[in-house]
Homo-oligomer: A and B are copies of this chain.
Amino acid sequence: MQTDKPREACGIFGVFAREDMDVARVMYYGLYALQHRGQESAGIATSAGGEITCKKGMGLVGEVFDHNSFEKLGGRMAIGHVRYSTTGDSVPENAQPLVTRYAAGKMALAHNGNLTNAGSLARELIDKGAVFQTSTDSEIIAFIIAKEYAAGSTIEEAITLAMKRLQGAYSLLIMLEDKLIALRDPWGFRPLCIGDLDGSTVVASESCALDTVGAKFVRDVKPGEVVIIDNGGMTARQVRTDCQSSLCVFEYIYFARPDSVIDGISVYEARLEAGRLLARQAKAEADAVIGVPDSGIDAAIGYAQESGIPYAIGFVKNAYVGRTFIRPNQDQREAGVRIKLNPLKETVRGKRIVMVDDSIVRGTTSARIIRLLRQAGAKEVHMRVSSPSFLHPCYYGTDVGTHKELTAYRNSLEALCKKIGADSLDFLDVSGLSDMLGGRKVFCNACFTGNYPVRSEKETQQ
């Protein structure tokens, strides 16, 4: 259920138009397609003749922009951002893109990810007399680039030098006077891909945004690569090759939209496969397989395919429960769950049910849903989770896994099963993740294993 899983990770989108194009509209639809990655704020910066116009605000893309915004946001180049605040406070100042003036003119930045050495980088700059206005990584990145440039580097060199200093996750779009630069941290934690829209270039966090604006997928930006897009075309430079590929596996499990393909692997296929693996690994005698909307559906279908148990619709979700929804108070909590998710009695009454979800966060929601299923007449409820259980916090731009409640159950599947009231419970094995990704060996699974590709300053502080 949405309220327990606000686990977005920001989304970025950019356009460099070579044809005549309504750039602001393309940005609008592109960000709409990435809205699931961040719902706190949205922003678009467009560039025309060296001048950058930026419009950003708290809320959804559809709330921040209207027809008037389009008229103001002219230009041939633009970058945009949807934000979920994994770092920095939830205040208007922290909305992106960040637009700054530096020695060579204007520069706009849109950042997806989380630096692991932000604290020491900021401290170093401040000690030399800098002032900071936001609590975002973007401002630190802008400062470092500006400093290197002021010290005599070209802007490309300055970015290269900055990439040597920045640690952690950063998929970045940088808009300068005459070019758009897209880059991905050397570990490749967050996705970033390039598309072609009738000769113009589009960059997006996920390929579903390329589809949405009608662009053709060209390729992913590689970890450690800088791609420079200007009137001359697109040039790429592999700046760093010294880090282990560490794409976040949770992008496949939850963050990304199923219609995206990331680093060559289909998100939908990965989810189906997770369901199939789960069916093999954690069998259940049952009459129907259902998924918890929306993120459990794909794996449920995979589970059904593999197990031969029929797939059925288990819940009807209320499509209108959004940000303005007033949540039930204490007394009405039981009924409250049903407002968002109502079990389909026809599916569950008198049946043994396999219920698939993508993850368990605190367990309270799972417990309530299972109670609803029993009230609706389910004879048995076997919960199957299409990912391993979270045991470690994420330092790379998501907010999964820091829940002490769950950690408490790390040695006892039975205790958790009892807590949520299921007849049986099982998670996908960590060893299954590689199979889920079609055999891919290298990726970040730190939230499940604690094997962090990059140490974080926060980690050491704890």
Contacts and interface: CB of A to CB of B under 8 A. Distances in A.
B335 A101 contact: no
Given A133-B99, A326-B28, A313 B334 contact: no
Contacts of A92: 92
Contact of A312 (B301, B316, B320): B301
Interface residues of A, number: 87
A32 interface: yes
A342 B25 contact: no
A161 interface: no
Contact of A344 (B32, B258, B310, B334): B258
Contact of A332 (B25, B100, B122, B331): B25
Contacts of A329: 22, 25
Contacts of A36: 319-320
Contacts of A354: none
A409 interface: no
Contact of A268 (B128, B211, B313): B313
Nearest to A343: B259
A457 interface: no
Contacts of A143: 129-131
Listed from nearest, the 8 A-B pairs whose CB atoms lie closest are A214-B335, A129-B147, A129-B150, A62-B324, A100-B131, A259-B316, A101-B132, A35-B320
Given A62-B320, A301-B311, 6 more contacts: A66-B326, A101-B126, A211-B338, A211-B342, A257-B316, A261-B345
